[in-house]
A and B are shown apart, each in its own frame.
Chain A
Amino acid sequence: MTVQETDTRSGSLLHTETLSLNVGPQHPSTHGVLRLVVDMDGEYVTRVVNHMGYLHTGFEKTMENRTYQQNVTYAPRTDYLHSFGHELAYVLSVEKLMGADVPERASVVRVILHELGRLASHTVFFGTGLLDLGALTPFFYAFREREAILDLFEEVSGYRMNQGYLRVGGLSRDIPEGWAQHVSDFVNGLDRHIDEYESLFATNPIFIDRAKNVGVIPKDLALDLGLTGPNLRASGVRLDHRKANPYCGFEQYDFEVPWATEGDSYARFMVRAQEMRESAKIVRQALGLLRPGPVKDPNRKISLPPREELETSMEAVIHHFKLVTEGFHPPVGEAYVPVESARGEVGYHLVSDGGSMPYRLKIRAPSFVNLQAMEYAGVGGQFADLITVLASIDPVLGDVDR
């Protein structure tokens, strides 16, 4: 420990020492199991060091030893808040390797689930983020909407959080009857709910005091740190892979890319609030594009044959047997498809050696890269600001540690 002459900031002549404070890993405001070691000079933070790895379960190694189809259930379990982003990124990469042809209806359903997932993730962001700042009420408002979204997920896939609903080449099954109407009812009431959240924090003087000019990440630092997603857009770079590298037919949808230039915690909150409105807009448009049709690639080398065919066709039985026991074999090659998840760019870098399991699978986890910003944005402010910064960066520790 270094003994300093004076507490320079307050100007008093008290002798102070730099204090190392350990935060976490079991701490409610670390959003999981993140451990921070914070050096403090009085109440001011001089250095932040992240310690990760408490949730490391070796997703990449596990997925390299499972077939491509089995991995669809692993991918969403990394980022458990916007799990659909990971699932979609993985499936899109495999489809690029295989050259699969995804039917229109499947793409539209994917868009709906992708945006609902983003809404579910951002509601948790608002609920827990504001809870960290001492506001208890938004948590209940936000989780009301989150529950409604999880019910929609459950209706369509049977799972509330980690769906595993996609198949390479489409969906596992068509959406149930009446589901589109339920989604429509939900998103039509959503804008009013987002107004409610905003009225709880956007003009709240306490929140503004705690978030404005706190944890500023300037544009060049954001690019240097490799930030993506809302964190980068709050710093003035208008990068959104739904616009830049459209997947699932995102080029057909009319939506804005919210952005801000301040780069502070307040801007990160506001950009996400705007994103929720845009997501609701996309879901409404996607519901209009929902036409009857197949939801799977008809290629029998990729998709399972329908159950009825198994009783009449020997070919179907053979294909079923091969797909279930062994899986399909993508050609030798590499694929990477960037997907805009609620946290930033998710991508699965797949290396195929022609076998039925990925030779190498690397998850580009946005939270892991975004978390580095803590060591820059958290420094210089008071300790209480550190909590604001962590909440506004919105890491998911499952995504960080994988």
Chain B
Amino acid sequence: MDPLRGRNLDVQDDRQPNPVTPAVAPAARLDALLTELGLARESTEEGLLPVAPIEPARLLQTAALLRARGFMLLDVVGIDYLDYVLRKPARFGVTYNLYQPDTNERVFLRAYVEDGQHLPSLYPVWKSANYLEREVFDLVGVRFDDHPDLRKVLTPDDLDGHPLRKDFPLGESPTLFRDGRFLDPAAFRAGLTGQQGGLTGWRGGERKGLAPRAEAPVREPKGGES
């Protein structure tokens, strides 16, 4: 074939048969897999997902076993169970969404950790853990040991706290930025509109920047000044 012409446009031509992932993943086979790994489904009324709790110490080893079976890590979900209706073993549940594309099996592993407790990073097993664990660290505040680059990924550097925790203050809160700029939303809005700041949705709690609060040059914007 002329190299400049490129190859045939038809991409599903005569190459090796690669079957489309089958549409059936029997629940019994999934249970057998979990039993083989020494795990069991979470036995609560929330039975819609095959969630298997796992001790943090066994996480890395189990992940390696699943990796060897062709599972890929699709997502890491950090859940803060602070106000949850059911009693959970610990405050945070870090859920690993694992999927096998050849057999169409999906397993959710969940490691429970308390605030301040660390989890082993799964980066040595799956490279996709890199961003996903950074996101959980950023938004929920669970730390991962031996992660190559555990930095914030989504929120600004000078945001203190982890927004997806249930005790993160909601609504407008005065914010002190690292460069010393201080922003009070109500006064800021009043400065823009020339009207009263009015009530805000702020429900208590103050979001602090990295600089100490006392050093803030408190300067409320005047009307017409942004």
Contacts from A to B (Cβ < 8 Å): 52-53, 56, 58, 60-61, 64-65, 96-97, 198, 202-203, 205, 208, 212, 221, 223-226, 228, 232, 236-240, 243-246, 251, 256-261, 266-267, 270-271, 273-274, 331-336, 338, 345, 347, 349, 351, 353-354, 359-360, 362, 364, 368-369, 371-372, 376, 401-402
Chain A nearest CB, measured from B215 CB (Å): 26
Measured between beta carbons, the chain B residues less than 8 angstroms from A345 are 74
Complex interface: chain A residues within 8 A of B101 (CB) = 223, 232, 237, 239, 244
Q: Which of A239, A240, A274, A376 has the most CB of B within 10 A?
A: A239
B130 within 8 A of A: yes
Q: Roughly how many angstroms separate A202 CA and B5 CA in the complex, as a whole number?
A: 8
Map CB proximity to A onto B131-152 as digits: 1 under 8 Å, 0 otherwise. Answer: 1100100010000000000001
Q: Chain A residues near B10: list those with CB within 8 A.
A: 274
A234, B164: Cα distance in complex, Å:
35
Is B68 at the interface (CB under 8 A from chain A)? no
A243 contacts B23, C-beta separation under 8 Å? yes
User: Whole-angstrom distance between the alpha carbons of A347 and B97 in the complex?
Assistant: 11
Contact of A259 among B12, B73, B86, B131 (CB under 8 A): B12
Task: Write the chain A residue with the least CB distance to B49.
Answer: A334
Give which listed residue, A332, A372, A402, contacts B128 with CB less than 8 A.
Answer: A372
Q: Can you name 24 A-B residue pairings with CB atoms under 8 Å?
A: A52-B153, A53-B153, A53-B156, A198-B9, A202-B6, A203-B5, A205-B4, A208-B3, A225-B127, A226-B126, A238-B21, A245-B23, A246-B23, A259-B12, A261-B15, A335-B48, A336-B108, A349-B75, A359-B83, A360-B77, A362-B77, A368-B131, A369-B75, A372-B127
Query: What distance in Å separates the Cβ of B12 from its nearest Cβ neighbour in chain A?
Result: 6
Whole-angstrom CA separation of A359 from B80 in the bound complex? 9
User: In chain B, residues 55-96, which have Cβ atoms closer than 8 Å to a Cβ of chain A?
Assistant: 70, 72-75, 77-80, 83-86, 95
Do residues A56 and B155 form an inter-chain contact, with CB atoms below 8 A? yes
Distance between A168 CB and nearest chain B CB, rounded to angstroms: 16
| B90-128 CB contacts (< 8 Å) to partner A | 95, 97, 101, 104, 106, 108, 126-128
Q: With A60-B164, A334-B46, A402-B154 in contact, is A359–B84 under 8 Å at CB?
A: yes
Q: Which residues of B contact A228 (CB under 8 A)?
A: 74
